Structure 1
Amino acid sequence: MSLESRFKSDLEKEKKLTPLLDSYYKSKLKQYSFVRVSDLKQQHKGIDLLFKHKEKIASFYIDEKAQLDYINEDLPTFAFELSYLKNGKEKEGWLFDKKKKTEFYSLITAIYSDEPSSYTSCKITLVNRVKLLAFLNKRGLDKNNIVVKPKQHGKHIINGLREKDEGYLYFSKTNKAEQPINLILRLDFLIRNGLAKRLV
């Protein structure tokens, strides 16, 4: 599958997933209203949703990230993008990108589907991006010292994280054209350290 056709396929999956996500946001975040952002410039800045508090003057920029490659699977981890290739050139991933205005990630996992055209359930974990970046920085994991391109495809242990119960690096050299380098973090590790909350 080409990069363009893969992108279109992911967009179709996202559209089909949206009604389920919206129903969860409405039922679980009753103190907030939300607006889906359709402006491409805003989306490129990491804003898919705007959560607005109904009583306080507060709003938050949300970037939705869904594990659409793992339908009917419940993975304990999530991939945070550090870098990727575009037209043969290395680009910065969304985690450390200062141009992104994201305040929270809405991580969608355990997406289940009875039929190809509809999704029946999923899990949503809200991650505070500012807290996450500060936590990683305290562990010595920042933009300058974490993104070292591995030579071999697969999992790589990094200083600052315990592989079994916290996280590791993963270099997808062979199975994706973008060859992403991702920081793989366990969801329960994020929740345990006050960086995330399970919404559903």
Structure 2
Amino acid sequence: MKSSFKSDLDKEKQLSKLLDKYYKRHLKRYCFKRVYALEEQKKGIDLVLSSKFVDAVFYIDEKAQLDYINDSLPTFAFELFYEKNGIKKQGWLFDPNKKTHFYALVTNIYADEENTFTSCSITFINRKKLIEFLKCRGLTKKRLQEIVTSVKTFHGKLALEALNVKSEGYLFFSRKNKAEKPVNLILKLDFLIEAGVGKKFV
């Protein structure tokens, strides 16, 4: 299996140009600065928002559905675990080393030609509120790890008692089709907005 990491990086560079246009047009109360330092990006910081009116700074981690160009999905995948050199690693959602305040989930990405993006949707998710919300549903970092550990060879969609699989979310194991073998928590965007942890930006 070949990792798509390099091609994703190329796509991200092209997509950032479109995202910056949206930020310039729609961010009325904030100034934004794109982060290029790799060490900061590894900490979950792609963008820094600074309030124009109060002393407040927020770190944004952009997550884009780059595997679904010219497609529209009602869900988003939140990474719980992945593998590197055969070793299980903590995914970005619960990673304590991430400084992310908000996720900018980029969906409905459309392109007229390869790597030339023309439109997309952005949903902001409050990371702290999301983790607290999941905790209230019994889906703590520890509990999710227990579930994942209990099905070591499972591949595909796994329903959770805490979530309505049709309207809220489920687990998805990509153990046979992706090099990093990620385990993702798939959540409906409308569900997150209704729960008060997310807000549609554009």
Which bin holds the TM-score, normalised by the shorter protein? over 0.9
Aligned-partner residue type, residue 80 of structure 1: F
Aligned-partner residue type, residue 66 of structure 1: A
Runs of 4+ in 1 over 6 A off after TM superposition: none
Q: 1:189 aligns with which of 188, 191, 198?
A: 191
Aligned residue number for residue 160 of structure 1: 162
Aligned-partner residue type, residue 61 of structure 1: Y
Distance in 2, Cα, partners of 1:82 & 1:135: 16
Aligned-partner residue type, residue 158 of structure 1: L
Distance in 2, Cα, partners of 1:120 & 1:41: 29
**C-alpha displacement at 1:183, in angstroms?**
0.2
Aligned residue number for residue 2 of structure 2: 2
Structure 1 unaligned residues grouped into runs of 5+:
none
Distance in 1, Cα, partners of 2:193 & 2:101: 16
Aligned residue number for residue 17 of structure 1: 15
RMSD: 1.0
**C-alpha displacement at 1:27, in angstroms?**
1.1
Q: 2:137 aligns with which of 136, 139, 146?
A: 139
Change beyond 3 A, Cα 1:157–1:53: same
* Residues paired across the two proteins, number: 198
TM-score by length of 2: 0.95
**Between the two proteins, what is the percent identity of the paired residues?**
59
Distance in 2, Cα, partners of 1:85 & 1:117: 27
Aligned residue number for residue 179 of structure 2: 177
Aligned residue number for residue 63 of structure 1: 61
**C-alpha displacement at 1:56, in angstroms?**
0.9
Aligned residue number for residue 32 of structure 1: 30
Residues 61-82 of structure 1 deviation map (CA, whole Å, 9 limit, x = unaligned): 0000000000000000000000
Distance in 2, Cα, partners of 1:194 & 1:29: 20
TM-score by length of 1: 0.96
Is the contact between residue 2 and residue 178 of structure 2 (CA under 8 Å) also seen in structure 1?
A: no
Structure 2 unaligned residues grouped into runs of 5+:
none
Residues 33-48 of structure 1: pairs in structure 2 closer than 5 A: 33-48=31-46
